[in-house]
Amino acid sequence: MGLFDTIMFPKPIICKKCGKTHESTQTKQFENLMVTYSVGDMVPGNVMSGVIQETIFCDHGDIEKKENYSFDQPIFLVIWHNILTEIVENLKEAENKLSKFTLGDLYILYRNLYLEKINYQVKYERLKTQTRIFFEYLELSPEKQEEIRKGQVNTFNNIRYLHIIEYLDKKKPIEEIIKNLDDQKFTENLIF
């Protein structure tokens, strides 16, 4: 079978036969090094600009009387100067997007990727800080833990625990912290 690369979709693509959602597909169109590509990434090879047809593999897991699998649902990778700019399900739409892609679109694409990067960095730093504080809390005496748990955070030393108080009684506090951070957008108010 050999090696392949993975293409991550910016939004899920739904199988037209069974309704299963797909987040990615595999391709042998590039250098087959098991690299994962997303919109905005440079793709290797000799294709400078163009549309590449690929297909989605689906095992039709949600159909009772299903076929074993299929590779017949096409998708189209739009590549502009070796940058993967779009993934669409219609050839005409792909050709249209390629013909109308401009430097302004490139700016918007990379601005969005930059905001996504900043958002990820902020979430990572907050997760790191809140996790560290949570484990510091676990090392405190039971009396001190109870004081913090009851919300008696009037001293300067206890203020640091404000961000984790709501998670202390959860069954899986770190997972809850991660979920809370995942649900937040930190870059919505940034202006370029």
Mean pLDDT along residues 97-123: 91
Q: Does residue 138 or residue 2 have the better pLDDT?
A: 138
pTM: 0.69
**Could you state, in order of their start, the residue ranges of all structural domains in the chain?**
5-101, 106-182
* Out of 27-31, 50-54, 175-179, least confident range: 27-31
Please state, rounded to an integer, the average pLDDT across all residues of the chain: 84
Q: Which of 101, 119, 122, 90 is nearest to 40 (CA)?
A: 101
CA dihedral 75, 81, 85, 88 (to 10 degrees): -20
Q: If pLDDT is split at 50, 70 and 90, which confidence band does 192 have?
A: very low
Phi, psi of 134 (to 5 degrees): -60, -45
Mean pLDDT along residues 166-172: 85
Summarised one tens digit per residue, pLDDT across range 52-90 is: 999 888 877 655 555 566 777 899 999 999 999 999 999
- Residue 5 C-alpha from the chain's centroid: 17
Confidence check: pLDDT of 30 > 90: no
Confidence check: pLDDT of 160 > 80: no
CA–CA gap between residue 33 and residue 57 (Å, rounded): 19
Q: Which of 120, 133, 43, 118 is nearest to 82 (CA)?
A: 43
Taking CA atoms, 26 is separated from 35, 71, 75, 112, 119, in Å, by: 10, 11, 11, 25, 27
* Out of 48-62, 128-142, 148-162, least confident range: 148-162
Mean pLDDT along residues 112-122: 89
